[in-house]
Amino acid sequence: MEDLIRIFLADKNFEGTRDFEPTSDMRLMIAAQACLLILGLDYAYYDDVGSIIISPTIIRQRGSRQLDGGIVSDDPIALAGQAVLHGPVLIVWDTVANESRDPRRGHNVVFHEFAHKLDMRDGTVDGIPPMSAELAGRWASVIRSVLARLRSGDHDGLRSYGATNPAELLAVATEAFFETPDRLQTSEPELYVLLSKFYQQDPAARRLGPG
Ligand SMILES: [Zn+2]
């Protein structure tokens, strides 16, 4: 984990919005959370992440925004983060600081946006990150049934925002997988297993381990 974070900090370009200069603590916090996602994968999974742009506070966007063109945005008015296909990741520091104080809420903008980048790695924003054909087949059918349950409002393990589309479901499920894994494992065992296979991690077991 420490090796990944060191490489990430040296390799990726961190910028602030306008005159904002991100501190080393801010860069470290974002790097650490981003690297947790690829702890069981390979650093190359973030090849497509060139820059991380940090805004000190929530970004307000005027008017409606297009969701096509490879851009995935969250919340039409106040942006806490954004992942751009073949482009940068935008992260709002206020949100990171706030969410990191209580990981059990299952909200994490860094996990969310970097899950979008993992999804985008194969050039499409479809909620299916690069994986074997066999796993992708199972993934598609599990996602369909989870989406149906989320859209019917019958869910206590995932945020309702995941019902937006399969890409948002992956991002929201990734937040739950790393922040509230025991809850996700209970409410969506099949999805939990698939996320475990993709991320090569078992956060629920880690939580129950010694200490
Ligand atoms: Zn999203």
pLDDT tens, 112-134? 999 999 999 999 999 999 998 99
For the beta carbon of residue 10, count every other beta carbon within 10 angstroms.
Answer: 8
Q: How far apart are CA 158 and CA 110, in angstroms?
A: 17
> How far does the centroid of ligand 1 lie from the alpha carbon of residue 77, in Å?
14
What the block records as the tokens of 180 is: 């509230």
Q: What is the arithmetic mean of pLDDT over 45-54? A: 94
> How far does the centroid of ligand 1 lie from the alpha carbon of residue 19, in Å?
26
Give the pairing of strands 71-73 and 59-60.
unpaired
At which residue do the structure tokens 């940090």 appear? 54
> How far does the centroid of ligand 1 lie from the alpha carbon of residue 209, in Å?
31
Does the pLDDT at position 78 exceed 70? yes
Q: How far apart are CA 104 and CA 95, in angstroms?
A: 15
Q: What is the arithmetic mean of pLDDT over 85-109? A: 92
> How far does the centroid of ligand 1 lie from the alpha carbon of residue 21, in Å?
25
pLDDT tens, 159-202? 999 999 999 999 999 999 999 999 999 999 999 999 999 999 99
Angstrom CA distances, 59 to 51, 84, 152, stand at: 18, 16, 31
> How far does the centroid of ligand 1 lie from the alpha carbon of residue 211, in Å?
33
Domains within the chain, CATH numbers bracketed: 2-110 (1.10.472.150), 133-201 (no CATH)
Please give the model's pTM, rounded to 2 decimal places.
0.90
Q: What is the arithmetic mean of pLDDT over 1-8? A: 97
Q: Which residues surround ligand 1, an ion (CB under 5 A)?
A: 74, 168, 171
Banded pLDDT at 158 (limits 50, 70, 90): very high
Banded pLDDT at 59 (limits 50, 70, 90): confident
> How far does the centroid of ligand 1 lie from the alpha carbon of residue 210, in Å?
34
Angle made by CA atoms 43, 12, 102, in degrees to the nearest 5: 80
